[in-house]
Amino acid sequence: MLVLVQLLIKYALLNNFGAQTALDGLGILLLIIATTCIAAAGNIINDICDVETDLVNKPNRIIIGNFVSEKTAYNLFLGLNIIGVGVGFYLSHRVGKAPFFSLFVIISILLYVYATYLKGTILVGNIVISALVALSVVIVGTFELIPVMTPNNQRLQIVFFKIILDYALFAFLINLLRELAKDIEDIDGDYKAGMFTLPIAIGRERAGYVLTFLSLFPLIGSVFYVTNNLYKQPLSVGYFLLFIVGPLIYSSIKTFSASTKKDMHHISLMYKLIMLFGMLSLLLYLFAL
């Protein structure tokens, strides 16, 4: 999904509308390699730190210790981080913006801190990991638009950057909802591991009410976006109503009545699908807008 959204931003949005960009085909490939390697490293360290909770939450899907040794996993974690940060360093200099290199370092460090500490803290871990998901969207606009921004094209470049920010905000909100749903689903394993997530702090039922309330924000935001930006595009309105607004309403109602681990797993999957369809809406710029 990370690769998909970065390619869609590049080719369905920016290139399709003739935006002035800094990255050629090789450049976007390097950006994808850097971000996916760092993201993969984050997943690996997360799996390493989650063995205890996974023994309770998903005992049949434990990778570390069964298919990959912990030592090998750590080596992969270090290797992928080195590749990702190294490619990011080269790419930052390639576009003439050396300070951009710090983005890759910050992302790498935050993923490690999230997995080793923040994941077990109430809401902070959820917000941090969701912000990193949003940053993986924003980083395309950062590398594509800012290096070639001039007084002559500044207004148009900002318009494109704001569109990317809209998608980043959507990604942040949906991922936050999914993280909270997963916390409710995994409450037993998290409690055994000594974590202090929202459902552990206030209870599964109250956490479900919080999740229902928070789900109203992307729902209202999506309706506002459709009515203010897409009302003259019937195909786009239909797409958003069918694949984003409708599933958001369904998920909100389902969350309010959810009572089992299976229910929360279903809701978590729904948010993943909503995220996917939200990113795929970038294709509308090719066919409908």
Over residues 218-238, the pLDDT tens digits come to 999 999 988 888 878 888 999
- State pLDDT tens for residues 26-82: 999 999 999 999 999 999 999 898 888 877 877 777 888 788 898 999 999 999 999
The answer to whether residue 260 scores a pLDDT higher than 90 is no
**So what's the pLDDT on residue 109?**
96
**So what's the pLDDT on residue 170?**
96
The answer to whether residue 288 scores a pLDDT higher than 70 is no
**So what's the pLDDT on residue 129?**
95
**So what's the pLDDT on residue 149?**
94
* Average per-residue pLDDT for the chain: 92
**So what's the pLDDT on residue 119?**
87
Which residue's entry shows tokens 């809406």?
281
pTM, entire model: 0.93
Question: Which range (33-47, 48-62, 183-197, 241-255) has the least confidence?
Answer: 48-62
The answer to whether residue 200 scores a pLDDT higher than 90 is yes
